[in-house]
Amino acid sequence: MESIERLVPLEPVETEIVVVNSRFIASLAPVKSAEEARAFQKEIKGKYPDASHHVPAFIIGHGKSTVSHSNDDGEPSGTAGRPALAVLAGSGLGNVCVVITRYFGGTKLGTGGLVKAYGEAVKAVLALVRRAVLVPCSTWQIEIAYSYYDQLLRVIQSCAGEVFDTEFAADVKLKARFKDEIVEKFIGQLTELTAGKVKPLLISRDPETPFPV
């Protein structure tokens, strides 16, 4: 059976378009559940309390195992939530929520105009999204002498690792995250670099880590 590449947004993003004086602010965020999606919608409503509408659409999961939802939040039926969700579904992203906030500009857009405007708002925010893929990953702590530091960074980079929490003291201590499929390669290169003197310490494993693509 062919595996599904489980793409998700890496981080929240927001943008705005203007259509015939109406402002459409599209706010997008990664979410892991319908509850998180509703909490994000509530957050956006709190951020823009005087807006005319806050139209939500979200997709949880990937492939055939998805939960999706949208509503029009007071716009004419079928003109807001449905087109927003359709564009979101076409992105290939899962675990994603978008809320389109509208400030009415005084001119009615009509049914077709609303459908297009909400769809375009979602397209605009999707264009800014940094994507990640959910993969099994593990986080390792490495403590190493300064003389090896630059070489270690090159090894981590060659293994597509992410470095964070670097501390500079008597030695350099850092954490690095790798896809599980790359760990053996990394440990082999680290062993070769330090003649076996440095061994990484496993900190955690996560079967669904957002890893940038």
Q: What domains lie within the chain, and their CATH numbers?
A: 7-129 (3.30.230.30), 134-212 (3.30.70.240)
What is the predicted pLDDT for the residue at 209? 85
The C-alpha atoms of residue 123 and residue 113 are separated, in whole angstroms, by 15
CB 179 within 8 A of CB 135: yes
Helix (H) or strand (E) holding 96: strand 96-103
d(C-alpha 94, C-alpha 30), whole Å:
8
- pLDDT at residue 4 in the model: 64
Distance CA 52, CA 105 (A): 10
Residue 1 confidence (pLDDT): 34
First to last CA, the chain: 23
Q: Which of 184, 183, 186, 180 lies closest to 206, judged by CA?
A: 180
Ordered per-residue pLDDT tens for the chain, 213 residues: 345 679 999 999 999 999 999 999 999 999 999 999 999 999 999 999 999 999 999 999 998 889 999 999 999 999 999 999 999 999 999 999 999 999 999 999 999 999 999 999 999 999 999 999 999 999 999 999 999 999 999 999 999 999 999 999 999 999 999 999 999 999 999 999 999 999 999 999 988 888 888
Asked if residue 31 lies in contact with residue 93, where contact means CB atoms within 8 angstroms, the answer is no
This prediction has a pTM of 0.79
Dihedral angle over CA of 57, 60, 63, 68, nearest 10: -40
Cα dihedral 178, 181, 184, 185 sign: negative
Tally of CB atoms within 10 A around 133: 15
